[in-house]
Amino acid sequence: MKITVGDDEADVARHAAALIAREIDAAIAARGHACIAFSGGRTPWPMMRALADADAPWQHVHVFQTDERIVPLDDAARTLPQLREALLSHIPIPPAQVHPMPVDDGTLQSAAERYARDLEQLAGQPPVLDLVHLGLGDDGHTASLVPGDTALDIATADVALSGPYQAHRRMTLTFPLINRAKMILWLVTGRNKADVLKRLWVGDREIPAGRVRRDRAVIVTDRAAAQPLSENIEQRDGQTA
């Protein structure tokens, strides 16, 4: 696992956006297209806006979601409108290459299976995403893989439905798919994330995030979140744990 510490949220956003742009270029050079998945939450929107300014060949990129709340599109809890506002509406990506999670489908289990098939068609069998962006919840959840949920133990499906969490059920990518990704980008900022970031850094498997593979992971964080790690890492260096 590598970690890079930026001075503040804007610095973190620029670094993470540059990393994503490099991975997109590498994937396109290798195979002609890139498949990436984005998370929502409170943290990623400055990174998305910075990425919108990057000179990336979006006409060769397919964008997926790591998770989505099962709510109507006009609900403020939905991630897709925020993703469109921060990134998708500002880049020349063909609409057919944006793949929202089909949480509006009334047959949700079938919808999750269909999303998994979409991933297979574009990212192989089994699908291997070029990059998965993840956030880190205060309780150690990531995507919609939350403490105590049955989705944590799914080993035979790449997309699943979670139980209620913070008032909503969700659709989520599962550990098998996330752990096959060529790169896993953790974006973590703020002093309130310091304790749980330390648990991620040391590989605490008692939190869901600790079950994500480490050898392909990069953490991009700020000084506030990384403060408890300051004795173990060098800021702005890619350090391996």
Q: What CATH number did the domain enclosing 18 receive?
A: 3.40.50.1360
Over range 11-18, report the average pLDDT.
96
Query: What is the tally of structural domains in the chain?
Result: 1
* pLDDT greater than 70 at residue 218: yes
Range of the domain at 101: 2-175
pLDDT value of residue 237:
41
Q: What is the mean pLDDT of residues 73-97?
A: 96
Instruction: Judge residue 155's burial from the number of C-beta atoms within 10 Å of its C-beta, 0-12 exposed, 13-18 middle, 19 or more buried.
Output: exposed
- Share above pLDDT 90 across residues of the chain, in percent, rounded to a whole number: 90
Among residues of the chain, what percentage have pLDDT more than 70?
95
pLDDT tens digits, 158-197 = 999 999 998 899 999 999 999 999 999 999 999 999 999 9
User: Tokens in use for 98?
Assistant: 């944006």
- Rg of the chain in Å (alpha carbons): 17
- Note the pLDDT tens digit of each residue in 135-148: 999 999 999 999 99
The token duo for 7 is 């001075």
Residue 112: predicted pLDDT: 97
Question: What value does the mean pLDDT take over residues 145-156?
Answer: 96
pLDDT of residue 126: 97
Residue 85 covered by a domain = yes
Whether residue 104 is contained in a domain is answered as yes
Distances from the Cα of 113 to the Cα of 40, 79, 118, 156, 171, angstroms: 21, 20, 9, 11, 11
- Indicate whether 158 belongs to any domain: yes
Tell me if 72 is assigned to some domain. yes
Residue 36 lies in a domain: yes
Kindly state whether residue 16 falls inside one of the protein's structural domains. Answer: yes
Before 147, cis peptide (omega within 30)?
no
| DSSP three-state, residue 222 | strand
Q: Is residue 141 part of a domain?
A: yes
pLDDT of residue 231: 59
Which structure tokens are listed for 33? 């297209």
